[in-house]
Amino acid sequence: MFRRSLPSLAVCALFLAPQAAFCGGPRWVAGSGYFDPSVKGRPVVWKNGAVSYYLDRGDLSPSTDSGQAAAMVAAAASAWNQVATAAVNLSPGGLLDEDVNGSNVFLNSDGALQMPADIQSTATGKPVAIVFDADGAVINTLLGPGASDPSDCRDNGVITLVDNLGTDATIRHALMVLNGLCAGNRGQLAVMQYQIMRGFGRILGLDWSQANEEDFASHNITSDDLAGWPIMHPVEYLCQFSSAFCSPDLSALRYDDIAALNRLYPVTAANISSFPGKVLTAPATISLQGTIHFRNGQGMQGVNVVLRPVLPGTNLPDVRYTVTAVSGAFFQGNAPNPVNGAVDTQGDPVNEYGSDDASLEGWFDLSGVPLPAGTNIADYQLSFEAINPLYAANNSVGPYQKGQVTPSGTMPVILLHGLTAGTQTVEDIVIQDSANQQYSGDDGTETAPARIPPSGEWTGRITGYGHTAWFDWPVRPYRELTVEAQALDEDGRPTLNKAQVVLGAWNGSDAPGSAPVSGTSQAFNGAQTGLTTLSVATVAPGHLRLGIADARGDGRPDYLYHARLLYADSVTPTRISLAGGPITIRGVGFRPNAVVTVNGVRAVVTGVTPTEITAIAPPANGKTGVVLLTVSDPQTLGVTAIQDGLSYDALGGDALGIVTAPYGPVGLGVWTPFTVKALAADGQTPAAGVIVTFSVTNGAAVLGCGQPVCSVLSGGDGLASINVAANTLSSAQVTASLSDDASVMTEFTGSGTPVIAALTPNLYIAADASFLWAPQAEVLNNGTPVSGQQVNWSASTGAVAAMASSTSNAGGTATGQINVGPLAAGTDVPVSACLSPGPQCAAFHIYAVHSGLAQLTAVSGAGQSLSASQTPAPVVLRVTDAAGHPMAAAIVTFYETLVQWTPDCPAQGRCPSAPTLATQAVQASSGADGLVTLVPVTGNGVPTRLYVTAATGNATSLSFEIEQHP
């Protein structure tokens, strides 16, 4: 088995590495995703420590022939071979079969890489191939045009790639390319030899190391710092390719390099015979191992553990002999998470490196440490530090390749006395002021997610290795929402150095273990420090299942985050006039800085709570129909949108139905109401606030507005009405229509000139109720209203005319007064209005209907949200019978509960208590038009919430809330 990483060509500052390389201590540790299970947890090294390298047949550069280049490579290898306590030997094995150059390393027309067989990853018979790239052509082919530019020799002077790792945790092949464009003079060759040493360290399987960096940050570099500055540091700070300023003694390994090599390749009784002149590692060196823990017992991974001898007679550490290791270097630094899945972008398992043995999570290994030169006993200082957060990806130090994690709590300094060669010491350290939170299960599971708090914001932790938090929220279709999670440090400040939060969204019905419908490919893609955001669009009603995880599949008690669901659920009213007007948006996650746009135009925001925004929508500017409504956060750039919930005028799918209309023969000049009801697409919900256009579409007729086309705004119950009259004896057609092309029409014919007509011909009254009705009749002469005419009123049994006659006014209207009821359900009482003198009469009817089947609809004022200083508008409801006729004399009871205003429930803990300020029940009787009015109780300037339930009939009720916020 072998691994090929060359085609991916993942580039680092100095060296190439396999795309999913594990780092920390050893460069790679066998994991569970690729290697044989029997070697899981072992460092990946060369078998038996013997490594042969094979040299290019060509020259390195015009000024450096192959012999000089071979000597330079041998000198670099010798630095590693000379470590007396390391069972390693880098030796020349001979020559490659060819001069490797641009003629035999190139890309085909299809982009496939062509190269000689004996430098490919499968050429394990020549395990290390060293190429002399005289003109930079090989590097340009591997890394792209211009990659060998001599202005960047610090980074491209030596390119190293380990491209074959066996499943038995052995390294099987590597490639090193020397850039001939960086070998033009003696100074350049000295630096290149240093780079080759670093390249051999990587080929041997050593990780980068952080040692003696504290003085570099303050630019206070001493000669002692440089003496302890490891060859295997991740980024070259000092050596410029001109060699004008560089670390002293470039050819010598430091103690940190030696100790790391000893740990990977110890000389033991079993192998010492293969390495003449070398000594057993353990008896000749110090061994210090241990584990660093959080207070809850979990191992603390990714801490740089530093061991230094103490200068005699002082407590000061001697930085010349600094040795480091990283806690958790043998534990997996990358594991699957439900958002990003189990494989990387190349299809390789993300957990192929590092053991999954939890006991190794905070374990560190500082064995193989040589005593200071000339001593056989020494006191040592053991300290702990964070790893530079810039050391990530191919420059990573330790197991966290995707980003370093700042340690939790105060790192101790420990003095170890009298350590001698062969000493084996164990130190288990608990950081007493570290994070202590343990996973409590209060953030759900994939199959039983927790509910997102009512405010839409909460703080949580990704605690316990590999933990994922799961949440649920109901959503409507055609909404866009944003999920945000900002990583925090232990003081609650945004950070890049703790959790790397990734977010995934699933449909609530998706099977456990399925891939997310939408997810973040990487953490920190937001506009603020530590912020990860995810946008989700919904296409059907259902539930959003949200997963929150660490990008590394990690989980620790110091992985704190603050999350928000920014979601606009609904807007009322759903239809607004072309002039714009007030709207209320309900949802979660709203903040005071919210920006609202309607059809791309900014609205005026008048109030914001976490769950509600009030605003004034702008004028339509010629737009009708459905418009996009958005709520955005200018700081986080989060956006939520409602695509189909708001329109200027009619929404798509709105319909019209006729309630009353003139039909058939009608008297000339007699005004008859044409009433229609606008309904939403469901065919049941009233469409309030839409423009109903009445127009004469055939023949001749008169509309109440005096024009051939009139517009009427529907009420809260969807009703719109206009008076219509025939003015000729020919047929006429009047059409009512909406802007979405829904329409209804009525046809009628003028049938002569009556002298009196009923304007309000019918009354529908609740059975067993009494009511004073004021019917109206119109007196006409050749279609023209006549004033001053006496009209006599009479009624059949069940009703009594309160006055025998009335006189028509200037508009020809005469109004009667009829005492009605009580009547049994189903009763029909005729009423007459007759001219005096003369036999001409107009007929009216009173119908008694079942009050138990009454229905309630809101006309206006229900669901208001305003400031405490404003006065709520009266609430108007309409009572109708089972057939939709307005019902008179129906008793409606309003149950009002006024409570003190409180903010929405917090993300954690109990909801705030809302003291009750007043309760009352108010009754009202509906008029002839079925309308009842409530004047809401208020807090007289105190912020309140008024909860109202209106009830009538047997089981009909309508509930709404009026909020007066601060």
206: DSSP letter: B
What burial letters (b/e) apply to 842-855, b meaning 16+ CB within 10 Å? bebebbbbbbebbb
CA 357 and chain centroid, separation: 32
Using CA of residue 392, residue 397, residue 401, residue 404, what is the dihedral sign?
negative
pLDDT of the residue at 717: 83
Give whole-number Cα distances, 694 to 107, 577, 703, 837, in Å: 74, 17, 8, 38
Amino acid, single-letter form, for residue 673: P
- Matching residue, tokens 């007196």: 779
Q: Give the pLDDT confidence score for residue 19 in this predicted structure.
A: 37
Positive/negative CA dihedral, 888, 889, 890, 894: positive
Q: What pLDDT does residue 6 have?
A: 35
Beta strands 128-133; 50-55: pairing state:
parallel
Strands (E) across 869-966 are located at: 875-880, 891-900, 916-925, 931-934, 944-952, 956-965
Q: Give the model's pLDDT for residue 237.
A: 67
pLDDT at residue 55, as a whole number: 98
Which residues of the chain fall below pLDDT 50? 1-24, 241, 243-244, 907
Rounded to an integer, what distance in angstroms lies between the CA atom of residue 283 and that of residue 271? 15
At residue 14, the pLDDT reads 35
Separation of alpha carbons 573 and 785, rounded Å = 40
For 357-431, where are the E strands, in sequence order?
A: 363-369, 377-385, 413-420, 424-430
Q: Which two tokens stand for residue 433?
A: 């002021």
Q: Are 328 and 334 in contact (CB under 8 A)?
A: no
